[in-house]
């Protein structure tokens, strides 16, 4: 009985998480280098995997934190809805209040 309830709970959670991820407006990738740990490159891609925006920052973003993920998702949503900025502005550096490299 316990196994049945546990299995049913896992299946429900998996179904709900797949529904939450069905809205795919794009992705972001944070790249870092072993030799230069303080420099990271953040790239944003649209739903067709075309590069929308890229920025190099001189900071270490901990992408495992929910607040960092939320800010990156907000920037991605702004880029998808508003389009690529006319000038290469420092959107990431402004939203995280860090220096641009």
pLDDT in tens, 91-100: 777 777 665 5
- Tokens of residue 52, six digits: 């929308």
Q: How far is CA 90 from the centre of its chain?
A: 16
- Structural domain contains residue 19: no
Flag whether pLDDT at 20 surpasses 50: no
- Structural domain contains residue 88: yes
Question: What is the DSSP code (8-state) at residue 11?
Answer: H
For the chain, the average pLDDT equals 79
Flag whether pLDDT at 22 surpasses 60: no
- Structural domain contains residue 6: no
pTM of the model: 0.68
Q: Which residue has the higher pLDDT, 97 or 60?
A: 60
Domain that holds residue 90: 25-96
Q: Which residue has the higher pLDDT, 1 or 40?
A: 40
Flag whether pLDDT at 76 surpasses 60: yes
CA distances (Å), origin 27, targets 36, 48, 78: 24, 10, 12
- Structural domain contains residue 7: no
Q: Taking a C-beta distance cutoff of 8 angstroms, is the pair 43, 49 a contact?
A: no
Flag whether pLDDT at 32 surpasses 80: yes
d(CA 98, CA 85): 19
């Amino acid at each position: 009985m316990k196994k049945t309830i546990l299995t049913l709970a896992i299946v429900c959670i998996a179904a709900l998480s797949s529904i939450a991820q069905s809205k795919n407006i794009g992705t972001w990738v944070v790249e870092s280098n072993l030799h230069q740990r303080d420099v990271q490159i953040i790239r944003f891609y649209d739903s067709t995997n075309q590069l929308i925006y890229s920025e190099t920052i001189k900071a270490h973003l901990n992408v495992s934190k929910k607040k960092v993920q939320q800010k990156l998702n907000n920037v991605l949503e702004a880029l998808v809805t508003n389009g690529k900025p006319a000038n290469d502005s420092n959107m990431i550096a402004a939203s995280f209040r860090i220096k641009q490299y």
